[in-house]
Structure 1
Amino acid sequence: MGIMREIGASFSKEKGTVFTVWAPEAERAQVIIEKPEGRTVPLQREAFGYWVGASDEVKPGDRYFFKLDNKDPRPDPASLSQPDGVHKASEVIDHSTFDWTDNNWKGIPLEQYIIYELHVGTFSDEGTFEGVINKLPELQDLGVTAIEIMPVAQFPGSRNWGYDGVYPFAAQNSYGGAEGLKKLVNACHEAGIAVVLDVVYNHMGPEGNYLNEYGPYFTDKYHTPWGSALNFDDAHSDHIRNFFLQNALMWLRDFHIDALRLDAVHAIYDTGAKHFLQELKEQTSLLGEQLGKDFILIAESDQSDVRMLNPQEKGGYGLDAQWFDDYHHAIHTLVTGEVEGYFEDYGKPEQLQKALEHSFVYNGLYSEHRKKTVGTDATDVPAKQFVVCSQNHDQVGNRMLGDRLTQLVSFEMQKTVAGMILLSPYVPMLFMGEEYGEDNPFLYFVSHTDKNLVEAVRKGRKEEFKYFATKGEEFPDPQSEDTFNKSKLSRSYEQNEKHRQLRDFYKELIRIRKKEPAMAKPDKPHMFAQMDAENMVLHMVHFGQEPSLYCLFNLSKETQTVTLNSTHGKNLKLLLNSADATWGGGASKAYSSIQETVPLLPESMLVLQKET
């Protein structure tokens, strides 16, 4: 167990405000109270270079800087609030005053998660936490059971995906700050919706990042694609680990967040005896035991490595789940025909069956794209430990034009792909707007104030689009407010009949997932999967509980006469046909009786149920 101690400004009625900052090289440290101005709080040095001081005069709402030696005053690295942005004073806040009403909320088990990923700034017209609260009835109506919020740690300006955060403890001021986020979590729990927060522990944004002035937060041993690597295993790393462990515990404890999505964990470099991710799991489990709640950690990893998910007694880190790109890539390449860039490793029909039966497609295979052997065998890892999607902020936003699947495949194929995600054995995730076929793009946007940085971002994005560049298309400027505004949801299903039908179809798929016994605890051992590569038809049967569900997906542009599997294909009736007129399809006849063969319209799906 490393060093665990509180940091930042902690207010209580008994002690006033206690300030703690880690600055091992400083000779002197003090707090400058900027508002109300004219006061300082001296800090005393403690073990390992922590500086501590208290004042019963400093109250919530007061603004402060730390001043080390004769350097310029700087905001608190563990600031809970940056009301005037990343370069200005930090604000003392009191976590104990919020009036929570979610005492009866105990969370939901991972296998019941149906996740809806959203970006606070573009999800609603307001672009705030309050704006999300106003739309919760829509999400309840859709049937999702969890929202995943893209990062909200304070970033420069008011427009950002969130991966340029520089104050991990401070909820973005332009979204509504700490109070706004707590209101959102409370409202979600009242609505029966769990909250997953996306957190970034692999790098920090460039603008407003003063960490190096405090201590060796970064290391030159490694490099990430987004800047300096954080120091998780070099000299003084105990204190950087503590910084991020305290951050995770704060979100779970003080903001009642249910789960954390850990951004790009393959860029958390740690060769120490106990990996940071393992320690993170231990600490969050400890907190869960104290509070009587199960907290969930979901990793984003591109390594196809079961070590993330394996229990610690098996040498793993014990994380609860991870984003599972192989399934996305297998589907995307087959339905769009795109095989450029990292998609070059995919596009073979049999990979779809493998992704369902064994999870990792690259499970010790040579990757042409990476020019090396990749992955381990995940066949025995439960399906609920993998989060799958057909779209997410990366897969849409990292395209030059931010184009969604809506722009790439037909209306009928959108429904078929939705079925492959929502009726898979894995934990499904939707990307905001996907459920009705949002036409607006989701582009990459920033609002930096440093001109050189803005130019560097523009240059970097252009470089990134070598693979996906569309000839003759104008490159959307990440800094432009117009780029941000174009990325807001239109909620077109309120006016557009086709979009309403698509949303109703998503609702029906979610209803099936929640209500059908065969989908109660879907898993690989209780599923039959077969890809007919010649006719491009996927068979997926869930038989964990009766009545079993037989799902068929036609990824071809022709009608296919499908022969049902002899074991699972008897005594079936129709439960759902994506080509039905109800869902905007052109099917002319219902399936009165289902024999050994079934006609399957182009780019359509059927759900058949065993007659009981």
Structure 2
Amino acid sequence: MGILREIGAVYTPEKGTVYTVWAPEAKQVTVRLTAPANRTITLQREDFGYWTGLNEAGAPGDRYLFQLDGELERPDPASRFQPDGVHSPSAVLAQQNFAWTDEHWKSLPLEQLIIYELHVGTFSQEGTFEGIIRKLPELQDLGITAIELMPVAQFAGGRNWGYDGVYPFAAQNSYGGPEGLKRLVNACHAQGIAVVLDVVYNHMGPEGNYLNDFGPYFTSKYNTPWGNALNFDDADSDHVRNFFFQNALMWLREFHIDALRLDAVHAIYDTGARHFLQELKEHTLELERETGRAYLLIAESDQSDVRLLNPTAQGGYGLDAQWFDDYHHAIHTLITGEKEGYYEDFGKPAQLQKALEQTFVYNGLYSEHRRKTVGSDATLTPAQQFVVCAQNHDQIGNRMLGERLTQLVSFEMLKAVAGLILLSPYVPMLFMGEEYGEQSPFLYFVSHTDEELVEAVRKGRKEEFKAFTWEGEVPDPQSEETFNNSKLQHSYPHNTRQNQLREFYKALIALRKSAPALDRPDKQQMRVELEADKLVLHLVHTSKEPHLYCLFNITNTPQITTLLATDKTNSWEPLLQSSAEVWGGPGDELTQPLPAQQQITLPAASVLILQSIG
């Protein structure tokens, strides 16, 4: 594990501000202070092309640019704050001046996470970190134990999903900047909610991306959808790796973030002896030893590759968890009938059972969509290392019209799907508004200032949907209306049906937290049977008594089925039924204990939850 080099502008009251930047090809580097006074500071070259210098009179709030070879002026690549956007001077911050009150906070283990993914700009009407703080009591009431923020690294303009960030160290100015993010994390911890931050280490956004002016941050060795790949294994890559390691550690150390969700790690190209992800985990473990806090690294990957999670002794990268798309795809295709694009590999009932028992559906199988063999075997990998969802920003936002499941399936099916996620052995994740059936879409939006770039985004967006037969016009990503249409309405307090759905989610979450059999769900202590012709799924958690029996009918017609028996029970007591009138269902509730082997009728699109007796 390499020794890390501090970068950026670091202020301390004792010394002032130390500026450090990596610019190996420059012959001269100076800092030009633009405020409060216009002056320059000459930096000294050190080993490997680092430049550093001290401004004893430096103070928080100072604005500055780096001047390369007396001509080119650029903001700091490791800027902690861009108060006026991506093209303007960087601002010096005092890293240690925030009054944290979370000294007794303990991070949650994976199996206790119930994650709520949200986009800062559209979650609240304010579109800020403060707007989220105002809504935290509602999330706490729902039972959420962690929020996952879509990327907040500084991007161009005020509207973006966040994956076009160009200053990885700077929290978005229009969201409330670094101070606002710290207040949010502090408030979350005060209410028992962990914070997961989505970070992007596989590419940089197009506007305001000045890294090439400083050094070889990119390499032409690999071709990516965004152009040249970030340089994690070519000449001078040690210093690019340092840049991103320092970034990850900053979020954990200075912002008290509990977990990082690593975007699209399959696009982090590194053929070196120690993969970037493995070394990132090693640095994170070192930080844990320093701080006494636990941190999680959660990968997003579409490769179904258990190597991400395997211990380094087994040739893996040792990450804590990963997103698991197969479960989503298996559910989505069965309930919607959609089989276009990447959904063409799914739609078979047996895949749902396999996703529960073995995790990866494509575990060394040929994929028709990719036209190659995909995946490895994750059967023995613990369930809590996989995050599952029925909706997320990609699966909604990458639809042409951004429709949520609310627009695609019935109200009763929404409740059945909630059960499939919250009662699975995996870590459940909800997407903002899902819990009450939000009607607003979640569309793709940007706010670039370069017209050519805007046109390229519009064209690229249309190209994405060629594999689908969706009708209608692609909403303009640049339009402010597209962004505003994506804001949550939070309408459930005034909508009986939405409130019933939210209350059902609350009941499922409470059950997940309280049921002994779900205390630490285990694929090896779980019975799964699927009646493929009826699309009736029997899921029995047997790790602890009482056993928990979850019965799903994922068709739109009633189905007759026979209750299972286990070694330790011959009768079942009804706990929760999505068809109950209290949840807006049609009624016909089961109230008496039921003997095993008894035939029952499951209402259309429903989940019935029972527990063993005796």
Length-normalised TM-score, structure 1? 0.99
Residue of structure 1 equivalent to 2:137: 137
Residue of structure 2 equivalent to 1:527: 526
Residue of structure 1 equivalent to 2:391: 391
Decide whether the 8 Å contact of 1:3 with 1:238 is kept in 2: no
SS of 1:518's equivalent in the other structure is helix
Q: Is 1:611 aligned to 2:613, yes or no?
A: yes
Q: Distance in 1 between matches of 2:112 and 2:71?
A: 52
Q: Distance in 1 between matches of 2:449 and 2:233?
A: 33
Q: Distance in 2 between matches of 1:204 and 1:530?
A: 45
Residue of structure 1 equivalent to 2:360: 360
Residue of structure 2 equivalent to 1:259: 259
Report 1:202-241 matches (<5 A). Answer: 202-241=202-241
Residue of structure 2 equivalent to 1:476: 475
Q: Distance in 2 between matches of 1:58 and 1:238?
A: 30
Cα distance, 1:557 vs structure 2 = 1.8
Decide whether the 8 Å contact of 2:133 with 2:187 is kept in 1: yes
Q: Distance in 1 between matches of 2:591 and 2:62?
A: 69
Unaligned runs of 5+ in 2: none
Residue of structure 2 equivalent to 1:186: 186
Q: Is 1:88 aligned to 2:111, yes or no?
A: no
Q: Distance in 1 between matches of 2:298 and 2:442?
A: 23
SS of 1:148's equivalent in the other structure is strand
Residue of structure 1 equivalent to 2:351: 351
Decide whether the 8 Å contact of 1:400 with 1:469 is kept in 2: no
Distance 1:589 1:251, change over 3 A: closer
Cα distance, 1:567 vs structure 2 = 2.3
Cα distance, 1:468 vs structure 2 = 3.2
Residue of structure 2 equivalent to 1:563: 562
Q: Distance in 2 between matches of 1:80 and 1:363?
A: 42
Decide whether the 8 Å contact of 2:579 with 2:589 is kept in 1: no
Q: Distance in 1 between matches of 2:213 and 2:593?
A: 73
Residue of structure 2 equivalent to 1:599: 601
Q: How many residue pairs get matched?
A: 611
Residue by residue over 1:491-533, the C-alpha shift from the partner in whole angstroms, topping out at 9 and shown as x without a partner, is 1211110000000000000000001111100110111111110
Cα distance, 1:139 vs structure 2 = 0.1
Alignment-mate amino acid for residue 603 of structure 2: L
Decide whether the 8 Å contact of 1:400 with 1:468 is kept in 2: no
Cα distance, 1:599 vs structure 2 = 1.4
Decide whether the 8 Å contact of 1:399 with 1:468 is kept in 2: no
Report 1:137-176 matches (<5 A). Answer: 137-176=137-176
SS of 1:95's equivalent in the other structure is coil
Decide whether the 8 Å contact of 1:580 with 1:586 is kept in 2: yes
Residue of structure 2 equivalent to 1:418: 418
Alignment-mate amino acid for residue 551 of structure 1: C
Q: Distance in 1 between matches of 2:9 and 2:80?
A: 8
Alignment-mate amino acid for residue 499 of structure 2: R
Q: Distance in 1 between matches of 2:371 and 2:147?
A: 36
Cα distance, 1:565 vs structure 2 = 2.0
Q: Distance in 2 between matches of 1:523 and 1:223?
A: 40
Distance 1:91 1:426, change over 3 A: same
Q: Is 1:328 aligned to 2:336, yes or no?
A: no
* RMSD across aligned positions (CA): 0.9
Residue of structure 2 equivalent to 1:316: 316
Alignment-mate amino acid for residue 34 of structure 2: E
Q: Distance in 2 between matches of 1:320 and 1:169?
A: 23
Q: Distance in 1 between matches of 2:228 and 2:124?
A: 33
Q: Distance in 1 between matches of 2:459 and 2:302?
A: 25
Q: Distance in 2 between matches of 1:515 and 1:212?
A: 52
Residue of structure 2 equivalent to 1:196: 196
Decide whether the 8 Å contact of 1:218 with 1:229 is kept in 2: yes
Residue of structure 2 equivalent to 1:588: 588
Cα distance, 1:563 vs structure 2 = 1.0
Q: Distance in 2 between matches of 1:408 and 1:33?
A: 55
Unaligned runs of 5+ in 1: none
Decide whether the 8 Å contact of 2:158 with 2:174 is kept in 1: yes
Q: Distance in 2 between matches of 1:326 and 1:181?
A: 33
Residue of structure 2 equivalent to 1:245: 245
Cα distance, 1:215 vs structure 2 = 0.1
Decide whether the 8 Å contact of 1:356 with 1:529 is kept in 2: yes
Q: Distance in 1 between matches of 2:450 and 2:482?
A: 18
Larger mean Cα displacement after TM superposition, 223-232 or 542-551: 223-232
Alignment-mate amino acid for residue 510 of structure 1: I
Alignment-mate amino acid for residue 159 of structure 1: R
Alignment-mate amino acid for residue 563 of structure 2: L
Cα distance, 1:401 vs structure 2 = 0.2
Decide whether the 8 Å contact of 2:128 with 2:174 is kept in 1: yes
Residue of structure 2 equivalent to 1:402: 402
Cα distance, 1:2 vs structure 2 = 2.6
Moved over 3 A (4+): none
Residue of structure 2 equivalent to 1:552: 551
Alignment-mate amino acid for residue 75 of structure 2: P
Q: Distance in 2 between matches of 1:15 and 1:485?
A: 46
Q: Distance in 2 between matches of 1:530 and 1:492?
A: 38
Decide whether the 8 Å contact of 1:204 with 1:227 is kept in 2: no
Q: Distance in 2 between matches of 1:223 and 1:509?
A: 44
Q: Distance in 1 between matches of 2:557 and 2:113?
A: 35
Residue of structure 2 equivalent to 1:509: 508
Residue of structure 1 equivalent to 2:126: 126
Cα distance, 1:3 vs structure 2 = 4.3
Percent of aligned pairs with the same residue?
69
Alignment-mate amino acid for residue 234 of structure 1: D
Alignment-mate amino acid for residue 293 of structure 2: K
SS of 1:101's equivalent in the other structure is coil
Residue by residue over 1:105-147, the C-alpha shift from the partner in whole angstroms, topping out at 9 and shown as x without a partner, is 0111111000000000000000000000000000000001000
Residue by residue over 1:13-41, the C-alpha shift from the partner in whole angstroms, topping out at 9 and shown as x without a partner, is 11110000000011100100000232111
Cα distance, 1:469 vs structure 2 = 4.5
Residue of structure 2 equivalent to 1:540: 539
SS of 1:466's equivalent in the other structure is helix
Residue of structure 1 equivalent to 2:517: 518
Cα distance, 1:261 vs structure 2 = 0.1
Larger mean Cα displacement after TM superposition, 550-559 or 189-198: 550-559
SS of 2:517's equivalent in the other structure is helix
Residue by residue over 1:458-477, the C-alpha shift from the partner in whole angstroms, topping out at 9 and shown as x without a partner, is 00000001123522x12100
Decide whether the 8 Å contact of 1:359 with 1:379 is kept in 2: yes
Q: Distance in 2 between matches of 1:565 and 1:54?
A: 73
Alignment-mate amino acid for residue 536 of structure 1: L
Q: Distance in 2 between matches of 1:245 and 1:31?
A: 24
Residue by residue over 1:409-464, the C-alpha shift from the partner in whole angstroms, topping out at 9 and shown as x without a partner, is 00000000000000000000000000000010000000000000000000000000
Report 1:569-580 matches (<5 A). Answer: 570-580=570-580
Length-normalised TM-score, structure 2? 0.99
Q: Distance in 2 between matches of 1:24 and 1:183?
A: 37
